Amino acid sequence: MTIFENTIRAVAICHTPYRQKFGIPRQPGLVDAHGFVELLPPFNDPDTVRGLLQYSHLWLLFCFHENLAQGWKNTVRPPRLGGNEKMGVFATRSTFRPNGIGQSVVRLHDIVRRKGKLCLEISGMDLLDGTPVIDIKPYIPFSDSVPDALGGMAQEAPVQIGVSYSDEALSQIAALAKGDERPNLASLIEGVLAQDPRPAYKKAKDDPKLYQVALYDLDIFWCIKDDKAHVLELKPTKVGQQPQPHPSGQANDA
């Protein structure tokens, strides 16, 4: 067995609207969520990102830090297959991996100073807030994109559902979206819920359950109504209150 001489460590921390595992898109690029990659010492030197703005997209290699204690599995049940069929861990993007490493393509908008810290402004991420990033690489279109590649069970993008709102929710969104603390709040909510983040077994039957998704410092409460995700209300997350864990995993499978 090969043993690495050098210990892998985080080079950055990702700040995103996703404050709990439930609701994170199952792949990058599905939701236009905006966030930041904060470079950590000693990698927060401007020289480490010199020339990076000539690229429109980046690869982020990261750690599924909230799943590491649960270990890995030989086989998993991908949500794309309804959670009923097993596949080998290396045939999926399951979070329960031998080394707990994930990768995502994100759009790079700018390199900025945010609260005095060197950050990459990004969008389209599928990462939990606070995810440690272990490497950053430029996305190279001619080599990283393979137009005729086969995507197995995930050849096509997932089918989205409609999203509707109560009058109360619309009023709350209009009031809460002001300022820069929650950019694109309305489109973020719609993008997340259109992915239908419910467990696969819930989608094949009547589902009267009330669901909650944590975005920024808000709890969004919704249910299924007329086959749509219906947003009922938004509430500020209570100080000190942690979002409830959900069995869907940290970042989702294909």
Q: What is the mean pLDDT of residues 140-144?
A: 94
Asked whether residue 150 carries a pLDDT value surpassing 70, the answer given is: yes
Q: What is the mean pLDDT of residues 196-219?
A: 85
The CATH number given to 153-236 is: 3.30.2310.20
CATH 3.30.2310.20: which residues of the chain? 153-236
Asked whether residue 191 carries a pLDDT value surpassing 90, the answer given is: yes
Q: Which fold has domain 12-151?
A: Elongation Factor Tu (Ef-tu); domain 3 (2.40.30)
CATH 2.40.30.70: which residues of the chain? 12-151
Query: 196 pLDDT band (50/70/90 cuts)?
Result: very high
Residue 217 amino acid letter:
D
Q: Token pair 């290396």 is at which residue?
A: 90
Q: What is the mean pLDDT of residues 162-172?
A: 95
Cα distance from N-terminal residue to C-terminal residue, the chain:
30
Q: Given this model, what pLDDT does residue 211 score?
A: 95
Residue predicted with more confidence, 241 or 107: 107
Q: How far apart are CA 85 and CA 75, in angstroms?
A: 10
- Span 113-141, pLDDT tens digits: 999 999 999 999 999 999 999 999 999 99
Number of helical (H) and strand (E) elements in the chain, helices listed first: 3, 12
Tell me which DSSP letter residue 18 carries: B
- Span 28-79, pLDDT tens digits: 888 899 999 999 999 999 999 999 999 999 999 999 988 777 888 899 887 7
